[in-house]
Structure 1
Amino acid sequence: MMDNYSITMRLTIIITGFLLSIISYGQTSLKEIGLKAGKYKVGFKHYTINDSTRTYRIHNEFNNQLIERPIPISIWYPAKKEENNSEQLTVLNYLEILKEEEEWKNLPNYFLLDWFPYLWNTPENKAHLSEKVNAFSNPTLLDGKFPVVVYAPSYQASSIENFALFEYLASNGFVVISSASRGTNTRWLEGGTTKDMETQSKDVEFLLKEIHSYENIDIEKVALMGFSFGGLSNAITVMKNRTIRAIVSLDGTERYNYPVLEKSPYFNLNKFSIPYVHFAQKEIPKEVLTTDKIPEDLNYKFQLYDSLEHSNIHRYRFHDLTHSYFSSFGVLFANRDKRQDKSDDKIMVSYNLLCQHTLQFLNATLKNEKKAIDFIENKPVTNGFSDSLISKESKKAIEKEFIYRDFNDLAFKQDYQDLIPLYTKTISDYPNLELQEGMLNTLGLRLSFNPEKKGQGYNVFLLALHLYPKSANLYDSLAEAYFYNEDYQNAILNYKKSLELNPENQNAIGRLKQLKE
């Protein structure tokens, strides 16, 4: 019997999709994929930032020298059209980024198709190198506020592995930011372990911080997207961060290796309550299951999807796509497995549909577009797609208990203004909501002692007294807030109200004596 590590290694190799033994060469092109760009010009830039909180070793230098962890960043964005000093990129320009990410900076370009295991030096693949892409190098980001998609690549993959999808999203008004998938200590991962997942999750969190450096990114509208192992890392990232609005999984490994997710100390399904879509590959034929020793339940087991209760979630199956073809690299460069892969034409059509469905899901969840919401809620056949191409299942969220922290989030969003009407509306929707006196008292004081937030603090006390009108302590605390901010007239008024309710309140007695003197 295999141990857990061996099983993890086998699953990782299986779902990476590039190590199949029975192969043929495919012929595709960006033009034939046929993605219709949106209204925006697409800008692209690539740069590297070091994470000073973590150390790293360049494996190919074969020494013990530790450096700060390098985070290579690729970003696609809506760009200004009037700039003429930026050049339209080619596929080769993208592949040159591999030299940095794979730590072969000075590798000659003519070795690119020979050196990396997911590229093959064939005439068909050589033809891709000169193809023009839709992105331009380094134009200025367009004015405005754009939602952002933070992408986690597949196992040990490049930040650019899904560049055609990224360009498509950017042309439709999204910013996409991505970084390479790297191991904890070197370029190499351990084999798809929980440690590997946590490391990639930290890299995603680094990107979540990086987006704050861009004025044109709407940081209130953030989605995560990941392919294969990146889907697993994103699932745990969502459980750690409440700023994420939606998550897209491109045949993510949370489906294939759920135990890796469960082993994380951050694993908590109750903290996964955002819209989630999982795009799954076609059923793996029995011949492949048997020959490659793949567990049969991978064809129908969707444990995260089945376990989530507090998210509106969707699960699509693309009947003409095997795992490799959920990325641009896979469609263009991966060798075909004669046992199960469809024709190149069918692969390109389905990849196009995958990109369309991704865009519609993001338009629905980040832009709240009515047409996109209808598109996602519809069955594929209603949207004009045959059941032989796509099938779908959905689950509605079970409503979570609404507690005081949730109410405080709503209050924060409206800067603690109009709290009594907000409470009245909220309690009608969530009749079990309880705002405890002590919590409101502490929050009111905390805000009031901040000179820039004193007005908000007074508003919290007014809500608290609306709920607890006979609380001597609340009147006393409100008086303290006024006293601290040198509004002595209101301080005296509220100390007296506190004493009316509790004549033994020594703090109020002392303060009134102090103010009188």
Structure 2
Amino acid sequence: MLPGSPTPEPTMRLLLSATLLVAFTATAHADPGFANLQPGPLAVGWKTVQQYDASRTYRGTIDAVTGKALQGERSRPIQTLVWYPARKGGEPVRYGDYVRTEATDEAFELTPAQVAAQAATARKEIEARLGAAPAAAMLAQRMWAVRDAAPAAGKYPVVIYAPGVGGPGHEPADLGEYLASHGYIVIASRNLGARTRMLVPDSEGVDTQMRDIQFLLSYARSLPQADMTQVAVAGWSWGGMTNVFAAERDSRIRALVSLDGTREPEQTRRIDPHRITVPWLYIQRRPSTVSELSKAGVETSFSLLNEVAYADVRQMVMYPMRHGDFSSAALRLAQPGYFQEYSRAEVEQAYHWTARYVLEFLNATLKNDAAGRAFLARAPIENGVPRHMASIQHAPARPGPVPNREGFAAALAQRGFGKAAELYAELHGRNKAFVLTDYEINNWGYALLRQAGNVQDAIAMFTFGTTLYPDNANLYDSLGEAQEYAGDTAAAVTSYRRSLALDPSNVNAATRVAKLAPVQASR
């Protein structure tokens, strides 16, 4: 099994619908949360939104499990859980209220009786695992969030959370409340498969969850509180890998958090490391030994974390934690015998510091907070982390232009388009996969000419194209058009004639030479 493998922890299968509704009176100050997490200055609201991604189907005409004919909505269901800064007041939910949402993760049409039946079944499973009293205590635990509370005034950064394989939308409930109390909006949905409840950990599974992330990003735009200029994506296990795929393709994402994210070379090799340029916090369990990796048949020749050179990467190790411990939903269901070398208290303490580092990282990257930057710059022990619990390595982003199309364009804007040839040689030397075709250069030149109205930059781009592709008749023809547009008739005639020499059938070049050459000769 690869480190951070997508196989779900056994405890995750027990996180089905269950709840215990107990009357209580809210106090003025929230108690510490799971793993002794301390609430921030803001009250927390929580809401569940049942919506469909109409651009994708989830159900076919036949039920994939029962084989029976299906009717009704076929679009992909995305039950969305949102934690957000709220106005004070109201009664906080119990943990069982979060767990109860699993009943409708993919079936919005369930009746209250059907939801209750699933809750009763799940509660029996949890009781069988933990015992009746511990199960009741867990489900009855008072949380910080108030259901459907009025949002607090102001704008707040957005964090999209991607669960592990089969993970429910409430997987980040503790982390979501913690971040919301410190001024973040946290949004999550169940990691459903492409067509069934359980996701298959393959390439289609990657693309499925990545599109869920993008759907939630688009949904976040509808929230008046959301500051869409400051967006991060976090995730555990499989979700801690698919969020990197999302960051590769979606420039709205400004920061990445991976909690023991899956390192599946077969999948992560698909990611262009030069397109990962945002700050990345990767927190993992104790590293496997060489012997353990060998026995598991793990490929060690490739690590995306090592390939990403143009992102500021912090890789942290939490030694007391195992893979499932990064999900508080799974950790809550751990039996006493699960804890071996480290006690439950030590593991929960490590979870506490994991959440704290996530908060400080987000403060530093999304809020440009000096205290957050200082926290990250210090050694864990200087921040109060117990000795031998954690270590961290920092790999600053490599300076200079990123060797891809976006980096090339940004550097041209700074250095001038006349430097295109030398700059391209520099970036291509760093990344052989960065190649501009003659077609791309030609389109780029015309975009400069027609969209930006910058004829000199267009001439420079076409000139660069003829340098890179000296036998391309079309690029010389395009260069001639730009020079003619700029009023440089002599240069235009020279370019058109070169195009004709390379392609005598070029009607446009022949026509322009016939018209411009006599004019040039008369001067």
In 2: Cα distance, 1:121 partner to 1:94 partner: 20
In 2: Cα distance, 1:468 partner to 1:195 partner: 40
CA contact (8 A) 1:194 1:261 kept: no
2:378 alignment partner in structure 1: 378
Deviations 1:14-61 (CA, angstroms, capped at 9, x unpaired): x625389xxxxxxxx964622121222211111121122222236676
Matches within 5 A, 1:349-388: 349-388=349-388
- In the alignment, is residue 92 of structure 1 matched against residue 93 of structure 2? no
1:107 alignment partner in structure 2: 115
2:520 alignment partner in structure 1: none
- Aligned-pair CA distance for 1:197: 2.1
The 1:344/1:204 distance shift into structure 2, 3 A limit, reads same
- Aligned-pair CA distance for 1:275: 1.7
- In the alignment, is residue 280 of structure 1 matched against residue 284 of structure 2? yes
1:170 alignment partner in structure 2: 180
- Aligned-pair CA distance for 1:115: 4.9
SS in 2 for 1:111: helix
CA contact (8 A) 2:32 2:38 kept: no
The 1:319/1:294 distance shift into structure 2, 3 A limit, reads same
2:155 alignment partner in structure 1: 145
Aligned residues: 443
The 1:212/1:183 distance shift into structure 2, 3 A limit, reads same
SS in 2 for 1:347: helix
- In the alignment, is residue 236 of structure 1 matched against residue 241 of structure 2? no
- In the alignment, is residue 206 of structure 1 matched against residue 215 of structure 2? yes
1:156 alignment partner in structure 2: 166
Structure 2: which 5+ runs fail to align? 14-30, 428-435, 464-478, 497-510, 517-523
Paired residue type of 2:188:
S
SS in 2 for 1:381: helix
- In the alignment, is residue 63 of structure 1 matched against residue 68 of structure 2? yes
In 2: Cα distance, 1:376 partner to 1:277 partner: 10
In 1: Cα distance, 2:353 partner to 2:261 partner: 17
- Aligned-pair CA distance for 1:116: 7.3
In 2: Cα distance, 1:70 partner to 1:96 partner: 17
Deviations 1:414-436 (CA, angstroms, capped at 9, x unpaired): xxxxx7xx557998xx9778999
- Aligned-pair CA distance for 1:76: 1.0
Q: CA RMSD in A?
A: 4.2
SS in 2 for 1:382: helix
Matches within 5 A, 1:85-484: 86-101=90-105, 103=107, 106-108=114-116, 109-115=119-125, 120=130, 122-190=132-200, 192-254=201-263, 257-262=264-269, 266-282=270-286, 295=296, 303-338=303-338, 340=340, 342-399=342-399, 400-401=401-402, 405-406=406-407, 408=409, 423=415, 441-447=445-451, 457-458=452-453, 460-461=454-455, 474=482, 477=485
Percent identical among aligned pairs is 23
1:451 alignment partner in structure 2: none
Structure 1: which 5+ runs fail to align? 1-6, 21-28, 412-418, 448-456, 478-493, 511-517
CA contact (8 A) 2:232 2:254 kept: yes
The 1:119/1:144 distance shift into structure 2, 3 A limit, reads farther
In 2: Cα distance, 1:172 partner to 1:62 partner: 47
In 2: Cα distance, 1:283 partner to 1:53 partner: 40
CA contact (8 A) 2:445 2:459 kept: no
Deviations 1:312-344 (CA, angstroms, capped at 9, x unpaired): 211111122222221221232222444636222
The 1:59/1:73 distance shift into structure 2, 3 A limit, reads farther
2:47 alignment partner in structure 1: 45
CA contact (8 A) 1:40 1:171 kept: yes
SS in 2 for 1:129: helix
Of residues 53-62 and 204-213 in structure 1, the stretch that sits farther from structure 2 once superposed is 53-62
- Aligned-pair CA distance for 1:124: 1.1
| TM-score when normalising by structure 1 | 0.72
In 2: Cα distance, 1:438 partner to 1:199 partner: 35
The 1:202/1:403 distance shift into structure 2, 3 A limit, reads closer
Deviations 1:93-122 (CA, angstroms, capped at 9, x unpaired): 111101112657623243332357997554
CA contact (8 A) 2:33 2:39 kept: no
Paired residue type of 2:285:
Q
1:79 alignment partner in structure 2: 86
1:486 alignment partner in structure 2: none
1:454 alignment partner in structure 2: none
Paired residue type of 1:188:
M
CA contact (8 A) 2:156 2:185 kept: yes
Of residues 267-276 and 109-118 in structure 1, the stretch that sits farther from structure 2 once superposed is 109-118
In 1: Cα distance, 2:313 partner to 2:343 partner: 30
